[in-house]
Amino acid sequence: MSGHAAVSRRASRPIGVFDSGVGGLTVVRALMERLPLEDIVYFGDTARVPYGVKSVATIEHFTAQITDFLLQQDVKMLIVACNTMAAVASRVVTERAGDIPVIDVIEAGATAAVAQSPGGRIGVIGTPTTINSNAYARRMHALDAGVRVYSQACPLFVPLVEEGWLDHPVTRMTAQEYLRPVLAEEVGSLVLGCTHYPLLKPLLREVAGAGVRLIDSAVTTAELAAASLQASGLAQTAGGAARYRYVVTDVPLRFQTIGERFLGRSLGEVERVDW
Please give the positions annotated as active site. Answer: 82, 194
> What do you get for the CA distance between the two ends of the chain, in Å?
37
Q: Exposed, middle or buried, 141 (CB in 10 Å: 0-12/13-18/19+)?
A: middle
Is 46 within 8 Å of 255 (Cβ atoms)? yes
Separation of alpha carbons 76 and 96, rounded Å = 13
Nearest to 109 by CA among 143, 132, 78: 143
Cα distances (Å, whole numbers) of residue 268 to 47, 244, 246, 271: 20, 9, 9, 10
How big is the chain by its Cα radius of gyration, in Å?
Answer: 18
- The DSSP 8-state label assigned to residue 171 in this structure reads H
- Which residue type is seen at 214? L
Q: Which residues on neighbouring strands pair with residue 257, listed in sequence order? A: none
Nearest to 191 by CA among 145, 236, 135: 135
Is 262 within 8 Å of 201 (Cβ atoms)? no
Separation of alpha carbons 39 and 27, rounded Å = 14
> Which helix (H) or strand (E) segment is 191 a member of?
strand 189-193
